[in-house]
Chain A
Amino acid sequence: MLTFAKSQVKWVALVCVLTMLVPMLAACGTPAAPAPATQVAAAQAPSGTQAPAATQAPAAAAKKVLRMSRQTEPFSPFIPWQIDDNPALFISVNIYDSLLRMTPDAQGVQAGLATKWEAAADGLSWTFTLRDNIKYSDGSPLKPEDVQASIMAVAKSPKSSWAANYAAVKDVQIVDPKTIKIILSQPFAALPSVMAMFCAAILPADLVKASEAKDFDVTTAWKTRGTGAYYSESWKKGDPIILKRNPNYWNGTPAVDEVDIDYVPDDNTRILKLQGGETDVIDFVPLSQIASLSGQGNIKAQPFTIAQMYFIMLNNTVKPLDDLKVRQALNYATDKEAIAKTVFFGQAKVANAPIPPGMYQDKSLIGYPFDLAKAKQLMAASSVPNGFKLEMQVRSGNADYTNIATIIKDEWSKIGVDVNLVNLETSVVRTNYRSGNYQSEPSGWSNDMNDPTQIVNYEMNGGPNMQFAYWTRYDNKDLDAAIAKADVELDPAKRQAMYYDIQKKFQDDAPLVWTVYAPATAAWQNYVTGFVIDGLSYYRFETVKINK
């Protein structure tokens, strides 16, 4: 028998200590505690970058650096109209500016790079007056040619992912060095809103031209020249994104000199980083954690109201979903309060209107309050009084959709609808609803602009060019005509009345089952103030202060 009794414990202890000690000794001299936000963040800069002289503060301790940990990295080419993903979008609004900006309450637009804007009497053109003395981050002046090139790119470039929103833009003319005229093919009431979108940002004309080249190296797009509060010198996937304060910013001097953004996909790890003091701000905080994080003395966590809603898509061409009474019954049988409480921990609001909170949402609509008796009544009078089987495709890995579907399955069983939940990968679900190969599925939407034209056309307008009314295949020609009229009506009061009427009619037809409006979430250290997520889910670091 092998015996090593006396030396074994010592030997094991030695090995364990050495195993832990080697990596710690390797970093001898490097503090284990995270660097406070006011220290120079040179260690996090990607290799090969050189800080321009203007941003090297005379005393390293004076530099304010905000550290943010986000859920996902960008992946689109970093040219505003080529951006397809939210992570890139949220950064672009800090680097580039558009002619207009959305107001903080998301109800209208305000001045951006343009200080005045007005429509011609016939509605076929809009004139914008540019702000004086705007410079890019490299000090070069903004020129009217830049505005012309950028707007034509978002509207006409084959690489633009957002051209459909600018279909009415025919041409952009330079009237004089301070005046731009946008010529439209038809009146377009939403033009100010689309000019406030991130994708209509203004870039130097030479960069616009270069980005159109077939062999454009997309990595160079991260060496930015924008008029926004910050700029980037470079970025490679996997590295943190470093945003440096634009010394030529037209809208004052942001309090934060630098923003370092790293990517931590796991929700729990992001929260642990915040709790450990290794980061200052995190996004996409699970709603289940908001209360417990807020209860910690040094952290603030909160939801923000954004233009986002959740609903159940129904394929209106599949029996018996083509029966209005069935669709209305499903709406009445859905306990939205239960979903708001259980899935969203009380932080979501019951959806009363078919579009998210924002411009021209009809707040007076009551929607379909939970009413099981009425639901049963409607089912009894429908084409399937004894109920029916319904397949619901759920995107695997999406906890919110899965939980909503689970609750719906139970609720709809009470009116005789036997829901079969089928978990599929997101890309398969998308392929299926595009091809009409589905019956129902939980889905959601968040606005890209504050004007309702986008959501109304996407959700309610039938036909293949309009995504078949959010893939429900709902097709109401009268409603389509009403939507087309609202799009060109320039009088705000008349337009509001039109959209209220559209919302009521669409809701009465119940092609979808609306559930809740859900918030965005974020959490930050107590010493950070001014961090706000606006109605379109943008956040601008220029409003942030580090009080340390």
Chain B
Amino acid sequence: MGRVQYIGRRLLMMVLVLFGVTIIIFSMVRLIPGDPAFLILGDRATNEAAAQLREQLGLNKPLLTQYWEFIRGIATGQLGTSLLYRQPVINLVARRVPVSLFLAFYAMSLAAILTLTFGVLAAVNRGRWVDHVVRIAFLFFITTPAFWLGILLILLLSLRLHLFPVSGYGQTLTDHFRSLFLPALTLALQLSAVLIRNLRGQIITVQYSDYVRTARSKGLSERMVLWRHTLRNALIPVVTIFGLQFGYLVGGTVVVETVFAVPGLGQLLIQSITGRDYPVVQAITVIAAFFVILVNLIVDLSYSFLDPRVSYE
């Protein structure tokens, strides 16, 4: 099967997966106890006020009608109206998607830089102090809670050194790069811990392969052996984990978004779950699922560039 056909098949599967996601998320949010009307109106709401609000928000409609409206909304890009904010969901979410994607890609970029740098460094210095320092440092990063790591970075790089703002997103593109550096670094330090260990292990394994021995015996420099032969093969499983971590990033940045006051999807998702804002929870989940599937498709496609032996069936 060629690449084009492979992509076509995966896109079709994406539609089916997203359809399944809509059924699951639609059912799950409605199974959680808690009446949205009372959550919106607060403790002092009367039963009459809550009943009125439920009617206004369309919560009394049959479930199938609500589900049909949800699916139709996805197809037309309308996504319904937020119960909490009384605004079109698309307005709320559309402003946050770029923020979360920016943060996710920024974090992944930093993670890639850290992984390549320190993964190779640890591998080529296997058993020496450099290897131990790298592994201990990144073990610390992955075991440290994200909110605490974030606060430490703020204390050092914002308060002491005044290099970056404490929080926020900024207005211009350059503001975004500066404001999101600390949250992205917080995420990247934790993501790269797993990647570095994996890459280090893969490099150590691959360097004993026959083709690497052959390359050396042909007189190639160590740098050439590493970059042209060892690394490309070592990266294949690392890229897989890299792709899976993007899925974690799309939904798992709530803590970092809260600590750094980044107006992303994570914060909005938590507020919406707590407030039983069904349309927003549904929309964010579908969007997150879409990006996770898309990124994993890109990761799968990247294998053939790393290893020409990979074919699509």
Contacts and interface: CB of A to CB of B under 8 A. Distances in A.
A382 B36 CA distance: 40
A164 B46 CA distance: 8
B159 A272 contact: yes
Nearest to B260: A269
B69 interface: no
A47 B171 contact: yes
Interface in B210-249: 222-223, 225-226, 230
B121 A430 contact: no
Contact of A269 (B52, B167, B226): B167
A276 interface: yes
A44 B171 contact: yes
A33 B34 contact: no
Contact of B95 (A34, A238, A428): A238
B274 interface: yes
Interface stretch (A260-268, A355-363, A367-375): A260-268
Given A2-B123, A8-B124, A272-B155, A431 B38 contact: yes
Interface in A268-322: 268-269, 272-273, 275-276, 278
A158 interface: yes
A23 B177 contact: yes
B63 interface: no
Contacts of B203: 2
Given A26-B178, A163-B49, A264 B261 contact: yes
B151 A272 contact: yes
Contacts of B47: 464-465
B304 interface: no
B165 interface: yes
B117 A15 contact: yes
Contacts of B275: 75, 427
A2 B207 contact: yes
A458 B261 contact: no
Find the residue from B46, B203, B261 having the highest chain A CB count within 10 A: B261
A467 interface: yes
Interface residues of A, number: 61
B95 A24 contact: no
B307 interface: no
B164 A434 contact: no
A308 to B, nearest CB: 13
Contact of B154 (A23, A30, A34, A269): A269
B102 interface: no
B174 A33 contact: no
B232 to A, nearest CB: 15
A157 B169 CA distance: 39
A464 B230 CA distance: 74
Taking residues whose C-beta sits less than 8 angstroms from the other chain, chain B's interface range is 35 or more
Find the residue from B41, B147, B155, B263 having the highest chain A CB count within 10 A: B263
Contacts of A11: 117
B39 interface: yes
Contacts of A219: 87, 91
Contacts of A163: 49
Interface string A435-477: 0000000000000100000000010000011010000000000
A50 interface: no
B246 to A, nearest CB: 20
Find the residue from A27, A77, A85 having the highest chain B CB count within 10 A: A27
Nearest to A445: B43
B108 to A, nearest CB: 13
A121 interface: no
Nearest to A16: B117
Given A276-B166, A427-B274, A12 B171 contact: no
A-B residue pairs, 7 tightest by C-beta: A427-B34, A238-B263, A264-B261, A23-B181, A2-B124, A26-B177, A23-B177
Given A164-B46, A266-B147, A430-B34, 12 more contacts: A3-B124, A12-B118, A19-B110, A23-B178, A26-B177, A30-B175, A30-B178, A33-B162, A84-B40, A238-B95, A273-B167, A425-B274
26 contacts: A2-B124, A2-B230, A15-B117, A19-B113, A23-B177, A24-B164, A26-B177, A32-B162, A32-B164, A77-B86, A158-B56, A219-B91, A237-B263, A238-B99, A238-B263, A264-B167, A272-B158, A272-B166, A273-B166, A276-B162, A276-B166, A278-B166, A425-B274, A427-B274, A430-B34, A434-B38
Interface of A: 2-4, 8, 11-12, 15-16, 19-20, 22-24, 26-27, 30, 32-34, 43-44, 47, 75, 77, 84-85, 158-159, 161, 163-164, 218-219, 236-239, 262-266, 268-269, 272-273, 275-276, 278, 425-428, 430-431, 434, 448, 458, 464-465, 467
